[in-house]
Structure 1
Amino acid sequence: ITTQQLLTIDTKNCFQIAVDKYNLKEIAFADLGKPNYVNRGVSGNVYCTSCNSIPSEKVAVKEILISEDNDEKGIKMFLNELKLHSQVSHPQIIKFYGISNAYYLLMEYANDGTLRQYLKSAILSWGKKVELAVQIVEGMLYLHNKKITHRDLVEISGI
């Protein structure tokens, strides 16, 4: 089934087909704890919470905002993000756990915030800065080799 065909299906069926197509883990909404608002992203809000099926870690819950009238642009963004997450697994890239309740993406929670926030608040030795730069390059090289562009890394270019 193509992305275009997915768009012609109602959103509930679209969700289940995407789960099956990309072999994604579906996490029960009831497994999530009380969400704490973290930030607003490009496509929706981000929360931090606990998850019973991922007991040892806090998780970030990215809520993809899609209007009730099957907003085609929003659904395309959601499906594209699911496709990308299903293809990516690397130690230097935020881990993707699965999806819940139609438009919630569950990911590894970054305790220190964004890279920009971390760099502004942390006092790092030159050795640690070099180590961090190498980790960024490793993650970006992995994405580059998969022909994936990371749009948010541009935010740190002014540092």
Structure 2
Amino acid sequence: MEKEDDEFPLEGKDKIVDSNNRVKELKLFTATCSMDRYDVSIMIKKGPGITEDTYNLMKDFQHNTIIPHRNFYRDRDSNQGRLAIPDAGTSFKSWVGSSEGKDLLIDGNGNMSSLFKSMIIDICDAVEKSSAKGILIKKTLIGIIFTLQRKQLRGFFS
């Protein structure tokens, strides 16, 4: 049977083009990942502490609250590690601070919405599942959520 041009899996190698444009409020840069004739917007995490070992540990760990690690490569000039992740668009912190985020996390009575409760449970589940695989999470968003909500909704967490 002959394979159609658009049929997966695609053959070839990813080509990542780093734009060096920093995303506001994130320590990430925009980029494009090209394979065959498909281009996908991605984000790049840069820094001296990014290692291939970390990528190899995380690339197969899937959880709905953890951003998947898509690719690892080294910068030609600095030889520093680069981690490719899906395009997030904006930071979670910015989203929570927006009117859309506030409306989805806090109901009209000032109580945590079912979405907010579900997000906290999902984050706890991610910590549990990652630690069972020997992966320690450096920072979670729970502190960010509570800090933002405390500042924005006076008296809610008092």
TM-score, structure 1 normalization: 0.57
**Structure holding more strand per residue:** 2
Q: Is 1:134 aligned with 2:121?
A: yes
> Which fold has the larger relative contact order, with Cα–Cα distance below 8 Å and residues 6 or more apart in sequence?
1
Deviations 1:81-121 (A, max 9, x none): 223223422232101111234422101222231x3333222
Relative distance call for 1:56 and 1:95 in structure 2 (3 A) is: farther
- 2: distance between equivalents of 1:56 and 1:88? 24
Point out the structure with max Rg over C-alpha.
2
Q: Is 1:118 aligned with 2:95?
A: yes
Partner of 2:6: none
Matches within 5 A, 1:1-150: 27-28=14-15, 31-32=16-17, 34-38=19-23, 46-53=28-35, 55=38, 57-65=40-48, 74=49, 78-102=51-75, 103-113=81-91, 115-121=92-98, 122-123=101-102, 124=104, 125=107, 126-150=113-137
**Structure holding more helix per residue:** 1
TM-score, structure 2 normalization: 0.58
Between Structure 1 and Structure 2, how many residues are aligned? 118
Q: Secondary structure at the match of 1:49?
A: strand
Identity, in percent, stands at: 14
- Structure 2: which 5+ residue stretches go unaligned? 1-12, 76-80, 108-112, 148-158
- Structure 1: which 5+ residue stretches go unaligned? 1-25, 66-73
